Amino acid sequence: MAKTTHPRIDDIITGREADGCYVITECVDDIHGLPGAFVRGSIDRWANGDYALAPSHLPAEHAQFLDIETRGLSGKNQIWLVGTAYWTGKTLRIHQFLARDPLEEGTIIKAFFAQSERFPHWISFNGKTFDKTRLLRRAKAHLLSHDPCERHKDIYQTYFPIVKGKNLERQTLGEYERIFFPQFKRERHISGADIPAAYANYINGGNPEPVKDAITHNAYDLVTLTALYLKAVQRGF
């Protein structure tokens, strides 16, 4: 029986070559659902400084949202996607740095650090424990250095006192999405727990479609992260 030949991930998802890696770019207008609608309806007020008195407030022009995808939870597991989102002056831009194979890991981390020179404030979900720690550890493995972000707002820490009594099954971004946007159902959904296996299967010659779904999952995470942050500063947290 002839072996099935699958396309490369960059053959089935639109992006561009930049700084030696593959970059996928879209805006929040392309992301459907309640979190995206909430961001579109609130982000101008953030950019205009309407929420500047909130303790969690970071200036829109210097802030980037961050969510990474890895090959597993161990500190030694590689990063294959660095997802970011930031205010462009008109809309929220989603910018994802994709390692099409494990050899590109150092390149995507270096590209993210270069972008961070423009956006030195980071906003994440459990990122102080996971995303930031993993980025710095994997950067060290590639002999890359980066000045620490000026401020890092972790939405998990912001919301933890608020969600007590909300009957969360797990302390994950997906659970927070379920609580605060209960009618929202994602398109092309893949469980976060299944993402490492999807990427491993792809780089071993498997179907890239689940990896495409994982990239979409990451984009939705960035929009939900943005929506939760905007909810927090609106409420004065």
pLDDT the model gives residue 130: 93
Pairwise CA distance, residues 173 & 185, whole Å: 14
pLDDT the model gives residue 2: 44
pLDDT the model gives residue 216: 94
Output the CA–CA distances (angstroms, integers) from residue 140 to 12, 30, 104, in the order listed: 32, 35, 15
Q: Which domains does the chain have, with CATH numbers?
A: 11-234 (3.30.420.10)
The answer to whether the CB of 123 falls within 8 A of the CB of 224 is no
Pairwise CA distance, residues 47 & 94, whole Å: 16
The 3 state secondary structure assigned to 52-98 is CCCCCCCCHHHEEEEEEEECCCCCCCCEEEEEEEEECCCCEEEEEEE
Pairwise CA distance, residues 213 & 48, whole Å: 34
pLDDT the model gives residue 1: 45
Pairwise CA distance, residues 32 & 184, whole Å: 10
Pairwise CA distance, residues 177 & 129, whole Å: 20
Which residues of the chain fall below pLDDT 50? Answer: 1-2
Mind giving me the DSSP string for 10-58?
A: HHHS--EEETTEEEEEEEGGG--SHHHHHHHHHHHHHHTTTTTTSTT--
Nearest to 96 by CA among 221, 209, 224, 7: 221
pLDDT the model gives residue 163: 82
